[in-house]
Amino acid sequence: MNEYEQLISNDSTKKINTYIYGGRAVDNETLFICIATEEACKHFGIKDYSGVLAIVLVLAGQPLIPTRAKPMGTTRGTSIASLVLRALVNVNFKEAILPTLTNQSIKNFRFSMTINLGAFVGRWIPQLGITLAAYDVIRISASSVVHYNKLVKNEDRINDATTGSFG
């Protein structure tokens, strides 16, 4: 019986290791979830607002505010970030030379060009939020795996590619 068949069979003979976490006996999968939650809480502690900032940046960049009629194939509406930054940084170039990403341009796999520096900055706000969120997820995942691997037996470890082997 291969590993896959053991996983799906009801009479699996694989011994399940138990660990103590918070005074309770848990299996290795539950232990990892608990550790990942603990690492996320540490990461988003009172001193670290990057998760909240990422959400705010993504939401501020969404085209939720109705606007004038636009040409076909463009994103409808405008964002709070774009409105505010157009007012604060109202610098226009002679040609549309500033590449931006909008919801529609992402769907079409192309950049949308603009002449206004404020619009340029405002349209990159949600991408900054997405990047920040991705960084948080990677950091929390990596620290969770390292913490988990320090606590469990060798056979329950998750390969984190630090031993020079990919499995």
> Phi and psi at residue 162, in whole multiples of 5°?
-95, -10
Query: Would 120 be classed as within a structural domain?
Result: yes
pLDDT at 94: 92
What is the tally of structural domains in the chain?
1
Query: Would 118 be classed as within a structural domain?
Result: yes
Query: Would 146 be classed as within a structural domain?
Result: yes
Query: Would 71 be classed as within a structural domain?
Result: yes
Query: Would 7 be classed as within a structural domain?
Result: no
Indicate if the pLDDT at residue 5 is higher than 70.
Answer: no
pLDDT band with cut points at 50, 70 and 90 for residue 154: confident
What is the span of the domain harbouring residue 76?
17-156
Q: What tokens appear for 129 in the block?
A: 């939020």
Q: What is the pLDDT averaged over residues 139-152? A: 88
11-69 per-position pLDDT tens digit: 555 566 888 888 888 888 778 877 877 777 777 664 556 666 776 777 787 777 777 76
CA distances from 93 to 70, 110, 159 (A): 20, 21, 51
- Across the chain, mean pLDDT equals 77
Query: Would 21 be classed as within a structural domain?
Result: yes
Q: What totals of helices (H) and strands (E) does the chain contain, helices first?
A: 6, 4
- Residue given tokens 């069979």 in the structure block: 9
pTM value?
0.58
Report the percentage of the chain scoring pLDDT > 90. 2
- CA distance linking residue 76 with residue 67, whole number of Å: 7
Query: Would 35 be classed as within a structural domain?
Result: yes
- CA distance linking residue 79 with residue 86, whole number of Å: 11
Around Cβ 136, how many Cβ atoms within 10 Å? 18
Query: Would 4 be classed as within a structural domain?
Result: no
